[in-house]
Amino acid sequence: MSQDYDAIVIGAGIIGCCTGFELAKRGSRTLNVDKLPAAGYGSTSNTCAIIRLHYSTPAGVAMARESYFYWLDWGKYVGVPDESGLTRYVNTGCLVTKTEKNKQLENVMASLDELHVVYEDLDAAGMQEKLSFIDTRQYGPPVTADDAGFGRPTGGDVPGAVYIPESGYISDPQLACHNVQRACEAHGGEFRFNAEVVEILREGGRTAGVKLSDGSEIRAPVVVNVAGPHSFVINRMAGVEEGMNIKTRALKQEVCHVPAPEGTDYNVVGMLISDGDIGCYSRPEVGNNVLIGSEDPECDDLEWVEDPDNYDNTFSPQWKTQVLREAQRVQGLPIPDARQGLVDLYDVSDDWIPIYDRSDLPGFYMAVGTSGNQFKNAPVAGKLMAELIDRVENGQDHDADPVQFHMKYTRRDCDLGFFSRLRTINPDSSYSVIG
């Protein structure tokens, strides 16, 4: 078999770029291909780019904590200058509301304790001390806008919240991709844009490369699917979906941008708010705005998309529902007539936990089902994928003997079997962007 590269990575979003970078650092001749014109132009460019540490399991906190240190010292991670400048981490702190559904954050606090993450356990009065403009009354569980009880308090104050000071967001997620592209290129990695994959090549019972829409073929013994909302399309193309117990789909998501309450400098006093009581998360946005996303409460209908190249990318009534929900918590939040924000697709697995795995086709790997909560973990995802590929290509049976990936900052081992395509549905998942 003629060989152009050691590995082809399908996708140049943040995880695709980090995967190519980590493989290139190990000496592989890599090529990232993407159907769009530049790195990060897909769903990564429309991510909320939130960096948070709260998960309900120590393993979840550990991976987020490990990644946090890479974002904190981004220049050291990429290791090279970028003519466009470097993206930056903006620390805001995060307020996570306690609810019955999240078990009053007992598991979250225990997991934070195990990883020695600093936090404050607040009652309703403590919440107002952190954010004087918030309404601490309980409104949940969330209901739809046409429900007679929508917007009405359902009890006294919420039980409280956990405040985690080490939380924030990345200023420019698309620039982050460009930074990693330049870092990958410095190690010999290549990128090809406006290049749509239409076929996964096979030879000798394993992956042999890809064929592009222009008819050209690129050869490599390893192909990594990091195609975001198109990941299920690529998996079907490779013929591996039937061998997966956990699959992925594309989900339409809307993120609202609204002005901050009058007289409030939200970029100074605002912070991340993860609020299961109202079913929303939010963070400060440039220009004294508030960015609002959905935590996908059970009452809402989810819009799954069968064709990620052809879907309704306009705002729906969900936009106003999310803003009204956030206005329950953030007093004085305007409800504009003109809708602004983002509409894009998430790449979602059946249990909202990513798949970092090999496949039934030798040489074909997957970093999929990552949208909504894995942007923060991209540097570690790239490293663990490189480790997984190296071990499997050198003979380890990952399905029978899962690869253990050592995380240098937290000094913990990550069992990659947790992210297996063969796992059973995780009953402890939130089945939402919370992960």
pLDDT at 2: 55
7-85+172-247+351-419 fold: FAD/NAD(P)-binding domain (3.50.50)
Over 90: is that where the pLDDT of 371 sits? no
What three-state secondary structure class fits 133?
A: coil
> Is the CB of residue 139 less than 8 Å from the CB of residue 277?
yes
CATH number of 94-165+249-349: 3.30.9.10
Q: Which residue has the tokens 């936009």?
A: 319
Q: Is the model more confident about 42 or about 250?
A: 250
pLDDT at 322: 97
Percent of the chain with pLDDT over 90: 94
Task: Dump pLDDT digits (tens) for 223-263.
Answer: 999 999 999 999 999 999 999 999 999 999 999 999 999 99
Q: CA nearest 343: which of 280, 433, 254, 249?
A: 254
What three-state secondary structure class fits 97?
A: strand
Mean pLDDT, the chain, as a whole number?
96
Percent of the chain with pLDDT over 70: 98
| Rounded average pLDDT over 279-308 | 96
Alpha helices per DSSP H over 13-132:
14-25, 58-72, 74-78, 106-114, 124-130
Around Cβ 145, how many Cβ atoms within 10 Å? 15
> Is the CB of residue 259 less than 8 Å from the CB of residue 80?
no
Q: CA nearest 286: which of 147, 427, 88?
A: 88
Instruction: Report the alpha-carbon distance of residue 178 to residue 82 in Å, rounded.
Output: 8
Instruction: Report the alpha-carbon distance of residue 273 to residue 97 in Å, rounded.
Output: 8
**Rounded-to-10 torsion of CA 147, 141, 151, 432:** -90
Q: CA nearest 306: which of 238, 365, 248?
A: 248
pLDDT at 30: 98
| Rounded average pLDDT over 118-124 | 98
> Is the CB of residue 160 less than 8 Å from the CB of residue 122?
yes
Give the start-to-end residue ranges of the domains of the chain.
7-85+172-247+351-419, 94-165+249-349
Q: Would you place residue 435 in the very low, low, confident or very high pLDDT band (cuts 50, 70, 90)?
A: low
Instruction: Report the alpha-carbon distance of residue 23 to residue 384 in Å, rounded.
Output: 10
Kindly state the DSSP code that residue 24 receives in the 8-state scheme. Answer: H
> Is the CB of residue 209 less than 8 Å from the CB of residue 1?
no
> Is the CB of residue 404 less than 8 Å from the CB of residue 415?
yes
Instruction: Report the alpha-carbon distance of residue 205 to residue 362 in Å, rounded.
Output: 7
Query: Quick one: tokens of 425?
Result: 């549905």
Sign of the Cα torsion 381, 387, 391, 396 reads negative
Instruction: Report the alpha-carbon distance of residue 211 to residue 222 in Å, rounded.
Output: 14
Over 90: is that where the pLDDT of 90 sits? yes
Q: Which residue has the tokens 């190990």?
A: 26
Instruction: Report the alpha-carbon distance of residue 20 to residue 29 in Å, rounded.
Output: 9
pLDDT at 1: 45
Over 80: is that where the pLDDT of 147 sits? yes
> Is the CB of residue 144 less than 8 Å from the CB of residue 321?
yes
Q: CA–CA distance from 201 to each of 3, 171, 190, 387, 393 (Å)?
A: 12, 38, 20, 24, 18
Q: CA nearest 286: which of 170, 165, 132, 434?
A: 170
Task: Dump pLDDT digits (tens) for 404-421.
Answer: 999 999 999 999 999 999
Cβ partners under 8 Å of residue 251, min gap 6: 302, 303, 304, 305, 345, 346, 348, 371
Residue type, 156: G
Task: Dump pLDDT digits (tens) for 336-353.
Answer: 999 999 999 999 999 999
| Rounded average pLDDT over 310-331 | 97
Q: What stretch of H or E contains 182?
A: helix 173-186
Query: Quick one: tokens of 176?
Result: 């982050």
Strand order through the sheet with 50-51:
50-51, 168-170, 89-91
Q: CA nearest 224: which of 74, 366, 114, 19?
A: 366
Over 90: is that where the pLDDT of 425 sits? no
